[in-house]
Protein backbone atom coordinates (compact mmCIF):
# COMPACT_ATOMS: atom_id res chain seq x y z
CA UNK A 1 0.00 0.00 0.00
CA UNK A 2 1.49 3.18 -1.13
CA UNK A 3 1.13 6.23 1.15
CA UNK A 4 -0.22 9.33 -0.39
CA UNK A 5 2.17 12.28 0.18
CA UNK A 6 -0.74 14.73 0.36
CA UNK A 7 -2.42 12.69 3.09
CA UNK A 8 0.87 12.55 5.00
CA UNK A 9 1.29 16.36 4.78
CA UNK A 10 -2.31 16.96 5.92
CA UNK A 11 -1.86 14.59 8.87
CA UNK A 12 1.42 16.25 9.83
CA UNK A 13 -0.15 19.73 9.65
CA UNK A 14 -3.11 18.55 11.77
CA UNK A 15 -0.78 17.21 14.45
CA UNK A 16 1.29 20.43 14.44
CA UNK A 17 -1.87 22.55 14.73
CA UNK A 18 -3.17 20.42 17.61
CA UNK A 19 0.14 20.73 19.46
CA UNK A 20 0.24 24.51 18.88
CA UNK A 21 -3.34 24.85 20.11
CA UNK A 22 -2.58 22.84 23.24
CA UNK A 23 0.55 24.89 23.91
CA UNK A 24 -1.39 28.17 23.49
CA UNK A 25 -4.17 26.94 25.80
CA UNK A 26 -1.63 25.96 28.43
CA UNK A 27 0.09 29.37 28.13
CA UNK A 28 -3.28 31.16 28.44
CA UNK A 29 -4.09 29.09 31.52
CA UNK A 30 -0.76 30.05 33.11
CA UNK A 31 -1.42 33.76 32.38
CA UNK A 32 -4.89 33.51 33.94
CA UNK A 33 -3.50 31.82 37.04
CA UNK A 34 -0.83 34.52 37.36
CA UNK A 35 -3.44 37.30 37.06
CA UNK A 36 -5.72 35.63 39.60
CA UNK A 37 -2.86 35.22 42.07
CA UNK A 38 -1.96 38.88 41.62
CA UNK A 39 -5.53 40.12 42.21
CA UNK A 40 -6.64 37.77 44.97
CA UNK A 41 -7.44 39.34 48.35
CA UNK A 42 -4.78 38.83 51.02
CA UNK A 43 -5.24 35.96 53.40
CA UNK A 44 -6.99 36.95 56.60
CA UNK A 45 -5.05 34.30 58.45
CA UNK A 46 -1.80 36.16 57.77
CA UNK A 47 -0.29 38.32 60.49
CA UNK A 48 -1.60 41.93 60.50
CA UNK A 49 1.79 43.35 59.50
CA UNK A 50 1.74 41.16 56.38
CA UNK A 51 -1.61 42.46 55.17
CA UNK A 52 -1.85 45.18 52.59
CA UNK A 53 -3.47 48.54 53.15
CA UNK A 54 -6.53 47.19 51.41
CA UNK A 55 -6.78 44.34 53.89
CA UNK A 56 -6.44 46.74 56.82
CA UNK A 57 -9.21 48.93 55.35
CA UNK A 58 -11.43 45.87 54.98
CA UNK A 59 -10.76 44.93 58.60
CA UNK A 60 -11.71 48.43 59.76
CA UNK A 61 -14.90 48.38 57.68
CA UNK A 62 -15.81 44.93 58.99
CA UNK A 63 -15.31 46.10 62.58
CA UNK A 64 -17.55 49.13 61.94
CA UNK A 65 -20.26 46.96 60.40
CA UNK A 66 -20.15 44.58 63.36
CA UNK A 67 -20.54 47.55 65.73
CA UNK A 68 -23.53 48.83 63.76
CA UNK A 69 -25.08 45.36 63.73
CA UNK A 70 -24.75 45.09 67.52
CA UNK A 71 -26.32 48.55 67.98
CA UNK A 72 -29.25 47.68 65.69
CA UNK A 73 -29.73 44.38 67.47
CA UNK A 74 -29.90 46.17 70.84
CA UNK A 75 -32.39 48.70 69.46
CA UNK A 76 -34.63 45.89 68.26
CA UNK A 77 -34.69 44.37 71.75
CA UNK A 78 -36.01 47.62 73.26
CA UNK A 79 -39.75 48.28 73.07
CA UNK A 80 -40.64 50.80 70.36
CA UNK A 81 -41.22 54.37 71.45
CA UNK A 82 -44.88 55.31 71.26
CA UNK A 83 -45.81 58.20 69.09
CA UNK A 84 -47.05 61.06 71.20
CA UNK A 85 -50.13 62.55 69.56
CA UNK A 86 -50.37 66.27 68.92
CA UNK A 87 -51.81 67.84 72.11
CA UNK A 88 -54.64 69.45 70.17
CA UNK A 89 -55.97 66.30 68.52
CA UNK A 90 -58.06 65.07 71.46
CA UNK A 91 -60.11 68.27 71.81
CA UNK A 92 -60.39 68.53 68.03
CA UNK A 93 -61.75 64.99 67.81
CA UNK A 94 -64.33 65.76 70.51
CA UNK A 95 -65.37 68.97 68.73
CA UNK A 96 -65.65 67.14 65.39
CA UNK A 97 -67.84 64.48 67.02
CA UNK A 98 -70.11 67.27 68.25
CA UNK A 99 -70.40 68.64 64.72
CA UNK A 100 -67.75 71.38 64.53
CA UNK A 101 -66.70 72.27 61.01
CA UNK A 102 -63.15 72.52 59.63
CA UNK A 103 -62.89 76.28 60.22
CA UNK A 104 -63.82 75.85 63.89
CA UNK A 105 -61.16 73.13 64.32
CA UNK A 106 -58.49 75.32 62.71
CA UNK A 107 -59.40 78.38 64.78
CA UNK A 108 -60.02 76.63 68.10
CA UNK A 109 -57.37 73.91 68.15
CA UNK A 110 -54.55 75.47 66.15
CA UNK A 111 -54.46 72.66 63.59
CA UNK A 112 -53.35 72.97 60.02
CA UNK A 113 -56.20 72.96 57.54
CA UNK A 114 -55.30 69.49 56.24
CA UNK A 115 -55.22 68.07 59.77
CA UNK A 116 -58.57 69.64 60.57
CA UNK A 117 -60.11 68.28 57.35
CA UNK A 118 -58.84 64.78 58.14
CA UNK A 119 -60.14 64.86 61.73
CA UNK A 120 -63.50 66.18 60.54
CA UNK A 121 -63.69 63.51 57.86
CA UNK A 122 -62.81 60.70 60.27
CA UNK A 123 -64.76 61.80 63.37
CA UNK A 124 -67.72 63.93 62.30
CA UNK A 125 -71.05 62.22 62.80
CA UNK A 126 -73.09 61.93 59.65
CA UNK A 127 -75.56 64.78 59.26
CA UNK A 128 -79.21 63.99 59.82
CA UNK A 129 -80.94 63.39 56.55
CA UNK A 130 -84.68 62.86 56.42
CA UNK A 131 -85.74 59.60 54.89
CA UNK A 132 -86.55 59.93 51.24
CA UNK A 133 -89.48 58.29 49.60
CA UNK A 134 -88.76 54.96 48.16
CA UNK A 135 -89.56 54.46 44.50
CA UNK A 136 -92.68 52.37 43.96
Q: What is the pLDDT of residue 129?
A: 55
Asked if pLDDT for residue 9 goes beyond 80, the answer is yes
pLDDT, tens digit (0-9, with 9 covering 90-100), for 83-124: 666 666 888 888 999 988 899 889 988 888 998 999 899 888
Inter-residue contact 62 to 54 (CB < 8 Å): no
Task: Provide the angle, in degrees to the nearest 10, between the axes of the packed helices 89-97 and 113-123.
Answer: 50
pLDDT in tens, 26-38: 888 888 888 777 7
Amino acid sequence: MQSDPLLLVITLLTVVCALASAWMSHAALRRCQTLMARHTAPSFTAAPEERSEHGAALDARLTELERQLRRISEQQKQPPARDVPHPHYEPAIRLAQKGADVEDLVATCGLARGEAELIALLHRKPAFRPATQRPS
